[in-house]
A and B are shown apart, each in its own frame.
Chain A
Amino acid sequence: GAGVSQTPSNKVTEKGKYVELRCDPISGHTALYWYRQSLGQGPEFLIYFQGTGAADDSGLPNDRFFAVRPEGSVSTLKIQRTERGDSAVYLCASSLGTDRTAFFGQGTRLTVV
């Protein structure tokens, strides 16, 4: 596609439920990033992939968070046992390489009630 696509754009879930957030990067981009952004804050790094492997997952807050990119293209961020504190906008970005400009999607606004 022309840009990074994220689905859904909005997700409301109940505390304790499992959610999956999808990111479809720009075609040909090998690096893929997930960020989380709270209101009034800059994006906070979660994890990045180079190809299919998670090159750095040090930003994932705890083991309820997990991300995959099985074929080196689409990525899914998975959150188990959601908590109200997980409410935020989850941003995905992709780039041609880790030293190249990252382009962002529109984000998924997650609300845990």
Chain B
Amino acid sequence: EDQVTQSPEALRLQEGESSSLNCSYTVSGLRGLFWYRQDPGKGPEFLFTLYSAGEEKEKERLKATLTKKESFLHITAPKPEDSATYLCAVLSGATNKLIFGTGTLLAVQP
């Protein structure tokens, strides 16, 4: 069964304190792994798509990496405006469904 597990569930950082969020997955035929950011009361906002192991993508203070079993979202020197829930999702080649994890709630304190 396709499954996505994110850890930790919640993370509190001081401004400037770098860290990583984890997304572990099992999927029938990975067609893509996606990272989204979600602010309270809003829909998920697209960040990155990764298609194959070894691939990396960067955007400002965020960098996403992918292996055959997991993905990491690295946050370098975070700012309070990076506070949000970060969602990971995998696109299953068997079902064509986008399967989401439960997210990591990130709080960055000034």
List chain A positions with a Cβ less than 8 A from chain B.
Answer: 4, 6, 33, 35, 40-45, 48, 55-56, 59, 91, 93, 98-99, 101-107, 109
Is B98 a contact of A33 with CB atoms below 8 Å?
A: yes
Is A55 a contact of B96 with CB atoms below 8 Å?
A: yes
Known: A56-B95, A101-B46. A42 touches B103 (CB 8 A): yes
Is B72 part of the binding interface, using a Cβ–Cβ cutoff of 8 Å? no
CB neighbours (8 Å) of B89 from chain A are 42-43
What 7 A-B pairs have minimum CB-CB distances, sorted nearest first? A42-B100, A104-B43, A98-B96, A42-B102, A104-B44, A106-B43, A43-B100
Is A56 a contact of B96 with CB atoms below 8 Å?
A: yes
* Cα of A33 to Cα of B95 in the assembled complex, Å: 13
Is B24 part of the binding interface, using a Cβ–Cβ cutoff of 8 Å? no
* Closest CB in chain A relative to B92 CB, distance in Å: 10
Is A105 a contact of B100 with CB atoms below 8 Å?
A: no
Closest to A98 in B: B96
Is A40 a contact of B102 with CB atoms below 8 Å?
A: yes
Q: Number of contacting residues on B, CB 8 A?
A: 25
Is B55 part of the binding interface, using a Cβ–Cβ cutoff of 8 Å? no
* Closest CB in chain A relative to B42 CB, distance in Å: 6
Is A99 a contact of B97 with CB atoms below 8 Å?
A: no
Is B49 part of the binding interface, using a Cβ–Cβ cutoff of 8 Å? yes
Is A107 a contact of B102 with CB atoms below 8 Å?
A: no
Question: Beyond A35-B100, A42-B100: 9 further Cβ-contacts under 8 Å?
Answer: A4-B43, A42-B4, A42-B89, A42-B101, A42-B102, A48-B96, A59-B97, A105-B43, A109-B41
Is B34 a contact of A101 with CB atoms below 8 Å?
A: yes
CB neighbours (8 Å) of B46 from chain A are 101-104
CB neighbours (8 Å) of B79 from chain A are none
Known: A48-B97, A56-B96. A41 touches B102 (CB 8 A): yes
Closest to A44 in B: B100
CB neighbours (8 Å) of A98 from chain B are 91, 96
Is B98 a contact of A102 with CB atoms below 8 Å?
A: yes
A-B contact list, 10 entries, CB within 8 Å = A4-B43, A35-B100, A42-B100, A42-B103, A43-B89, A44-B100, A45-B98, A102-B46, A102-B98, A104-B36
